[in-house]
Amino acid sequence: MKKIAVFTSGGDAPGMNAAIRAVVRGAIYHNLKVCGIVKGYQGMIDNDIHDMDSYSVSNILQRGGTILKSARCDEFRTSEGRKKAYDNLQKHNIDALVAIGGDGSFTGANIFYKEYGVPIIGVPGTIDNDIFGSDQTIGFDTAVNTALDAIDKIRDTADSHGRIFFVEVMGRDSGYIAIQSAIGGGAESVILPEKRATPDDVVRHLMNKREKTFSVVVVSEKEVSGNSIILAEKVKESLPDRDIRVSILGHMQRGGTPSAQDRTLASRLGLAAVEALIEGKKDMMVGIISNKLAFTSFFDSISHPKPIDDDLIRTMKILSI
């Protein structure tokens, strides 16, 4: 193996740049040439592939987003699109890939490896923290802290006006951002995709807190943003005398300066991905479990659920009485 390429795919996450930096400098340290693929699988198809060196990744550690950009690519879902991608990798003499992204990115990598045998190591980069095989994914810690900062501010105005605030956070099918920001933000209730709750459940919980003049309810967006609006409207029907407001945090959770934890995690995983390729590993993801590097096949990482620890749910339940 003489030359590898790195790309970011799917939703951006704070810390992706730190991972890119680690891959590039790790490759150079091990005497490998390295390329960057712009816009993920789309760039692979469009031949948007460029050589990188140590200076290419200078001063990016603290930046949010991804310098290699990201894009959804329907064409890569087709065999013709993947053939174009493979041919372009061959033109650049690229022997292996590091894919930084989430389950969609890893699904594409798994299919690509099966069809063409290109060694690929995945680095989990998604704020949702929904990838099996790693305790945390790159961007999750920063997203939680972004949500927590917003919840702290919303709590101030909720207290001032005696309001019930429904604060919607991201996470898709995963409630990790919701549960951790709810515990850290002292929320009175949390709505998770993993633990279905009805508007009546929320009303009963809030009714038990009549002595409180205000409340904050953290709501996971599920798959579609706006779930909190529907929930708030239904709760308002049962509590017509309460002033109820909704705040949807949205994509602000994807941006911003990555936390120290995300920078360190991304740096460890990026370097580990390069060294895994050198050791002959392929068709798998590198993660961190109990603060140790751990490798999980792409198939397992995308097919196994990552449930929320019951202890987090128990903690939230006890501390929100």
**Tell me: the pLDDT tens digits for 47-105?**
999 999 999 999 999 999 999 999 989 999 999 999 999 999 999 999 999 999 999 99
Tell me whether residue 215 is in a domain: yes
What pLDDT, on a 0 to 100 scale, did the predictor assign at position 197?
81
pLDDT tens digits along 241-264: 999 999 999 999 999 999 999 999
- Both 242 and 174 in a single domain? yes
- Do 124 and 263 sit in the same domain of this protein? yes
Q: Identify the band that residue 173 occupies on the pLDDT scale cut at 50, 70 and 90.
A: confident
Same domain, 42 and 94: yes
User: Phi, psi at residue 80, to the nearest 5°?
Assistant: -65, -40
Residues 17 and 99 in one domain: yes
Residue 273 vs residue 196, higher pLDDT = 273
pTM over 0.85: yes
- For β-strands 215-220 and 189-191, DSSP reports them as parallel
> Nearest-5° angle of CA 138, CA 181, CA 320?
150
Report the alpha-carbon distance of residue 316 to residue 314 in Å, rounded. 5
Q: Provide the Cα torsion 304, 266, 41, 133; round to 10°.
A: -10
Would you state the pLDDT for residue 211? 64
| 98 shares its domain with 221 | no
* Residue 312 within a domain: no
CATH number of the CATH domain containing 78 = 3.40.50.450
Helices (H), 92-210: 103-116, 140-161, 176-185, 199-207
Question: Tokens standing for 291?
Answer: 């603060």
| Residue 208: pLDDT over 80 | no
**pLDDT above 70: residue 224:** no
Number of CB atoms found within 10 A of residue 301's CB: 25
∠ Cα 11 296 263 (to 5°) = 50
Sign of CA dihedral 228, 9, 43, 59: positive
Least confident of 121-125, 199-203, 305-309: 199-203
* Residues 160 and 172 occupy one common structural domain: yes
Residues 134, 265, single domain; the answer is yes
Number of neighbours of residue 65 by Cβ within 10 angstroms: 18
Average pLDDT over residues 262-276: 98
Can you give the residue range of the structural domain that contains 243? 141-254
Q: Which stretch of 37-46, 181-190, 193-202, 243-252 has the lowest confidence by average pLDDT?
A: 193-202
Pair 135, 163 in one domain? no
Predicted confidence (pLDDT) at residue 132 exceeds the cutoff of 70 = yes
Instruction: Residue 298: name the closest of 164, 109, 146, 170 by CA.
Output: 109
Handedness of CA 10, 301, 3, 113 (dihedral sign): negative
| Percent share of the chain, pLDDT over 90 | 88
User: Mean pLDDT for the chain?
Assistant: 95
Interval 6-10 mean pLDDT: 96
**Residue 234, pLDDT above cutoff 80:** yes
**Residues 207 and 289 reside in one and the same domain:** no
Closest CA to 94 of 198, 217, 1: 1
- Cβ distance 187 to 216 under 8 Å? yes
Question: How confident is the model over 155-161, as a mean pLDDT?
Answer: 95
Q: Is residue 233 in a domain? A: yes
Confidence of residue 209 (pLDDT cuts 50, 70, 90): low
Residue 320 lies in a domain: no
CA geometry: angle 302, 32, 111, nearest 5 deg: 25
Whether residues 127 and 150 fall in one domain? no
Residue 218 included in any domain: yes
pLDDT of residue 198: 81
Residue 118's pLDDT band (boundaries 50, 70, 90)?
very high
Q: Are residues 231 and 268 in the same domain?
A: no
pLDDT of residue 204 exceeding 70, the answer is yes
Percent of the chain having pLDDT more than 70?
98
Cα–Cα–Cα angle for 72, 77, 78, rounded to 5 degrees? 135
| Domain contains 316 | no
**Which residues are marked as active site?**
128
What's phi and psi for 188, nearest 5 deg? -80, -20
pLDDT for the residue numbered 111: 98
Q: Domain holding 182: CATH number?
A: 3.40.50.460
Q: How confident is the model at residue 210 (pLDDT cuts 50, 70, 90)?
A: low
- What is the per-residue pLDDT for 225? 61
Same-domain pairing of 215 and 89: no
- Domain count across the chain: 2
Domain end: 254, 285, 315, which one? 254
- Does 311 fall in a domain? no
